[in-house]
A and B are shown apart, each in its own frame.
Chain A
Amino acid sequence: MTRISTAQLHDSAVAHLQRASVAMARAQEQAATNRRILRPSDDPVAFRQAVTLRDAIGELEQYARNADVADRITKVADDALGTAADVLIRAKEIAIAASNSAVGASERVAMAQEIEQIAKHLVGVANTKIGDAYLFSGLQTLTAPYVEPGPGSAAVGAYIGDAGSASIPVGGGGSVPISIDGSSGFAQAFAGLAALHADLMANSVPSGATFTALDAGFNDAIALRGQIGARQARVDLIRDELADATTSATALLSTIEDADMAETIVELTKRERSYQAAINVTSKLIGRSLWDEVR
């Protein structure tokens, strides 16, 4: 028969109590934080998955931020090129009106003045900035791509941006450009406006070459707008995909890290009960001896 010493009985009762209260504290911690994994040692394998997922989510969030930047750039560029197309339509209307031989010299001067204003306006459009950066000057983002013509002139200087291109990644190995070579959209238009202005100042009917140049300018602006519109459609698609991927990765992370509320509460209740039971048993055990029965 195994003997049990009183001290041993006491110690093991206390040890049981201790274990029960540790288990209860742990269940309480999970219930309070609503997390299943509070430190790597709780479940090293799941913890590693969680760390990897957090990195993946961080990456997706970064791509989403990049897509937002691309979205802002394409929207501003689209607006600018829309405005450019509108003013070029007005320039062509003026050219058509000036083609009427009945138009007098003074009217042509007035028309030339309007073309000067249109040229200035278009320079303003081509010099659109986002923050500190010029949108249409390639990589020369601190330099305005076009200089306004002087008084009485519609001759806009040459493009002083460059054709370089920078882009940012948006996931899946893909990237979107954030720089635009403005000369591709505006150079012909400025040439057309300058030719029209020269014809008007010479009080002559706009030449065929002038019309060709104006049409080419309009077409270039529309073509660039088309390119940017296609980019916008791609960015929209990417943003949707990124949002979906982020949602599912976050949900996966939650299933790894977070405690199941119902399960946690059941566990906590169970731990509290067994702690209570350990207290009851211990209080019955400790302090009783044969001496209590011997008188």
Chain B
Amino acid sequence: MSSFTGIDIGLRALMAAQASLAAAAANTANASTPGYSRIRARLVDDAPPLTATGANSPGFGVRVDGFERIRDAIVDLQWRAAAAEGGEQERMAAALEQVEAAFPSDGINDIGAAFRRFVGAWNDVASDPTSSAARSVALEATRHIASRLNSAASQLNLAADGIDAEVRAKVDIVNGMAREIADLNGLISISGNSADSGAANALIDRRDLLIDQIATYGRVTVTTQGDAGFIVLFGGGALVSGGATQEITTMADPVSGRVVPAYAASGKLTFSSGEFKGLIEARDTKIAAYRTALNAYAGEISTAVNAIHAAGVDTTGNPAGNLFSVTVGNEAATIAAAINDPAFLSVASAPSQPGNNDTASAIAALRTTRFMSAGTETPGDAFARIVTTIGADVSGSIIRRDAAGLVGDHLTARRESVSGVNIDEEAANTLRAQRAYQAAARIVSVADSMLDVLLGMGAR
């Protein structure tokens, strides 16, 4: 044991206190930095070698063994799985809410009301078959229901187009983040891939934050493989392998024809959860189903009305032809009145009977006829079914979104409970480091005064 041991140990204690203070300062400074994991100075007892009878010296005091990043890898995995689920439900709910808002169902301006107006106008023709005014109103109501269907179809298309644009934008975002992760991989391996290094801690925090963000778009799996290093698997392929990325492109989905993310090598990305899944499912399953239902609605009405209308005669006594024109397969978007002059509307079942209202009555009677969906629904039932389906889908997706949000909140709390900074705690740590520093300084000063005594003996 040397005479300087006391000063030596004191000095190391001073350095340890400074390291703890530095950790508390860094934590406090980053208290609201997203993705920051709190750090702790790792202090170890710098003990002497043990002999058979135990230590024969007090050792060298304390040693600062780097800075530890406090993080729970299991919670990270759970958090990312929940983020993917949350992202999926959130985008699904948002897309469906937008459809619900754009698809009128207020009972005044909706398709159901337009159909009521249509049959109402034809009923008024039936109750005054010679009135040209009633025929004009019926033609206008015919155009009105057609235009309501056109506009509903175009709202559904707009919603799907909006999702296409969102998918493209999100592909760009994920590619950007993938490139940043690849760059970080290089930097982290240069800085020794050591979690203890202060510089590496910041880089690893940044990389984890990027992976968290990618996780909301789709399930990610992170592995480390030999020379390839840090690998991020996303959508059924390696998005990042060490310092290299695999660019995500977009392609037309073979079924829906709409935009989906793809790898050049392996084609369409596959997702078990995440924003891409939510968006694509909303567009290709839900909105596509609404479009199919709307097309069936428009198609069945036009077929039934046309059959009645074409069987009758117009005011000139000629066969009247179809009332609606549609393009099969795209009925709701293309339905239009096929007649431009009210005189060519079919009111009567036979020529030269201006008081005959058979055709108009039969069209008006469609209101209560179960001719839709294989003879099970009236037009009112069919419209109610379409709107209720959208409503039930929206309310279901909101419930799932909120549930996923609660799970996410819970996991965020757990993660924050491990890695997050508590300013009060850091204040206490700072005070403790300050006290430790004062005590260590005191040791140095006491050891110094002891040396003074020793040196004073020779001077006398």
Contacts and interface: CB of A to CB of B under 8 A. Distances in A.
Nearest to B427: A290
Contacts of B131: 131-133
A15 interface: yes
Instruction: State the majority secondary structure of interface residues on B.
Output: helix
Contacts of A164: 353, 355-356
Contacts of B419: 5
Contact of B416 (A4, A51, A131, A162): A4
Given A44-B395, A54-B112, A8 B353 contact: no
A168 interface: yes
Nearest to B361: A168
B420 A3 contact: yes
Contact of A168 (B123, B380, B431): B123
B384 A8 contact: no
Contacts of A133: 128-131, 354-355
A209 interface: no
Interface in B75-111: 97, 100-101, 105, 107
A103 to B, nearest CB: 45
Interface residues of B, number: 64
A47 B104 CA distance: 13
B166 interface: no
A66 B127 contact: yes
A289 interface: yes
Contacts of A162: 353
B316 interface: no
B425 interface: yes
Interface stretch (A55-63, A120-128, A186-194): A55-63
B75 to A, nearest CB: 13
B418 interface: yes
A138 interface: yes
Contacts of B431: 294
A62 B365 CA distance: 11
Given A4-B417, A168-B127, A179-B355, A51 B107 contact: yes
Interface of B: 31-32, 38, 97, 100-101, 105, 107, 112-113, 116, 119-120, 123-124, 126-132, 353-358, 361, 364-365, 367-368, 378, 380-381, 383-385, 387-388, 390-395, 398, 409, 412-413, 416-425, 427-428, 431
18 contacts: A3-B420, A5-B420, A7-B416, A39-B394, A40-B391, A41-B391, A41-B394, A48-B384, A52-B380, A54-B116, A58-B116, A61-B120, A69-B128, A133-B354, A143-B354, A169-B365, A290-B423, A290-B427
Interface of A: 2-8, 10-12, 15, 39-45, 47-48, 50-52, 54-55, 58-59, 61-62, 65-66, 69-70, 131-133, 137-143, 162, 164, 166-169, 178-179, 289-291, 294
Given A39-B391, A66-B127, 14 more contacts: A5-B416, A7-B31, A7-B421, A12-B409, A47-B387, A47-B388, A51-B383, A51-B388, A58-B116, A65-B120, A133-B131, A139-B354, A142-B354, A294-B427
